[in-house]
Amino acid sequence: MGPLSGLRILEFEAIGPVPFAGMMLADMGADVLLVDRPTDAQLGIVGERRTEVMFRGRRSIALDLKREGGVRSALRMAERADAVLEGFRPGVMERLGLGPEAMHARNRRLVYGRMTGWGQDGPLARRAGHDINYIALSGALDAIGRAGAAPTPPLNLVGDFGGGGMLLAFGIACAVIEARASGRGQVVDAAMLDGAALLATMFSGLRAAGQWSGPRGCNVLDSGAPWYDTYETSDGRHVVVGAIEPKFYAELIAGLGLDQDSLPAQHDREGWPALRKCLAERFRTRSRDHWAAAFADTDACVSPVLTFAESELTPQRSTRAGTLHIGGIGQPAPAPRFSRTAPGVRGAPPERGEGAAAALADWGFDEREAADLIGGAVVAGPR
């Protein structure tokens, strides 16, 4: 099931980007064994495991890594793994006796994936932080927001997930391919600061070409251009316009029933305020769904702004089976799509210790070895 079928990943419980990377790998068919803490208190987060949907598709073994038996069990499992995922601050895994050197002594082919905010070295390496801190120092946050307003945090999509979890999953896949050729594993140092900066690579070129300058909200892609922005409709909802190319812009103006000759030219920056005012007034005369229907069969690049719940019900996502319901919870389906090795989700997020015995058997441990691991590791499974 999936292009990564047969790959074994040992994932140490964390939040944010690490479980997202584990989810991506599990969705693609990897056998991801989650090393949980033997307690229900997960970093102060209250809630059922079933709602932590990024942990889907795993089995769990709950180890007390502060006890010798737990560390010994983790090292034994690392011997059978292709890769490890961990998201502690630099030095924590080494102090536990589970750092790269200790694991590579047991398994020289192991890929050791490390997820941090700042990276494994540098003056900020051991400092605390969250998505908003990392994207602030990457330069990305400064570019996001309206002219004359403060930067707008784009949820935690840029640092945690795009610049973090996806980067780590990509790094793991790259290093596993290399390890199969060389017979040697390595450390993958994925930092959200690096990833957020990498996501903004295009803007390095735009700045060099003189096509991106000045404060936020004054450029084409940051709401500066009136034909690449959001507009309120008569019902208090919103539509977006992304009519960059001249032919798409012409369809936008025609669909709004406006006369292009009476408006400022599309790329006349001095005329942008007047053009924006005209578009805003026109969109405010009808509802969001009216405009969605009016532009449905055009290339004007006008779309309704949907809620998460509304998005799940769109014909486009429904046709592509873009939403799964696991344990009664709707969530995005695995992506991307593959023509032969279709990915899928094995099941709902596991309770702590759920599926440990079966997972160890699949990983090559015989019944006695599995019993020794479970007995010495403080396994907290559902009773």
Residue at which a domain ends, from 312, 343, 366: 312
The active-site residue out of 82, 160, 194, 222 is 160
Look up the domain containing 253 and give its range: 228-312
In a domain, 44, yes or no: yes
pLDDT number for residue 60: 93
Q: What is the 3-state secondary structure (H, E, C) of the chain?
A: CCCCCCCEEEEECCCCHHHHHHHHHHHCCCEEEEEECCCCCECCECCCHHHCHHHCCCEEEECCCCCHHHHHHHHHHHCCCCEEEECCCCCHHHHHCCCHHHHHHHCCCCEEEEEECCCCCCCCCCCCCCHHHHHHHHCCHHHCCCCCCCCCCCCCHHHHHHHHHHHHHHHHHHHHHHHHHHCCCCEEEEEHHHHHHHHCHHHHHHHHCCCCCCCCCCCCCCCCCCCEEEEECCCCCEEEEECCCHHHHHHHHHHCCCCHHHCCCCCCHHHHHHHHHHHHHHHCCCCHHHHHHHCCCCCCCEEECCCHHHHHCCHHHHHCCCEEEECCEEEECCCCCCCCCCCCCCCCCCCCCCCHHHHHHHCCCCHHHHHHHHHHHCCCCCC
Average pLDDT per consecutive 10 residues, the chain (383 residues; last block may be shorter)? 95 96 98 86 54 95 88 93 98 97 98 98 96 98 95 97 98 98 98 98 95 90 97 98 98 96 95 97 98 97 97 95 94 96 94 90 89 64 39
pLDDT number for residue 214: 76
Asked about 160 being catalytic, the answer comes back as: yes
Asked about 130 being catalytic, the answer comes back as: yes
170 and 46 in a single domain? The answer is yes
pLDDT number for residue 108: 98
What span, in angstroms and rounded, lies between the C-alpha atoms of 159 and 256?
A: 37
pLDDT number for residue 377: 56
271 and 366 in a single domain? The answer is no
Which CATH number is 116's domain given? 3.40.50.10540
pLDDT number for residue 66: 87
161 and 235 in a single domain? The answer is no
192 and 270 in a single domain? The answer is no
In a domain, 209, yes or no: no
The active-site residue out of 130, 142, 235, 267 is 130
281 and 368 in a single domain? The answer is no
Counted domains in the chain: 2
Which CATH number is 303's domain given? 3.30.1540.10
156 and 295 in a single domain? The answer is no
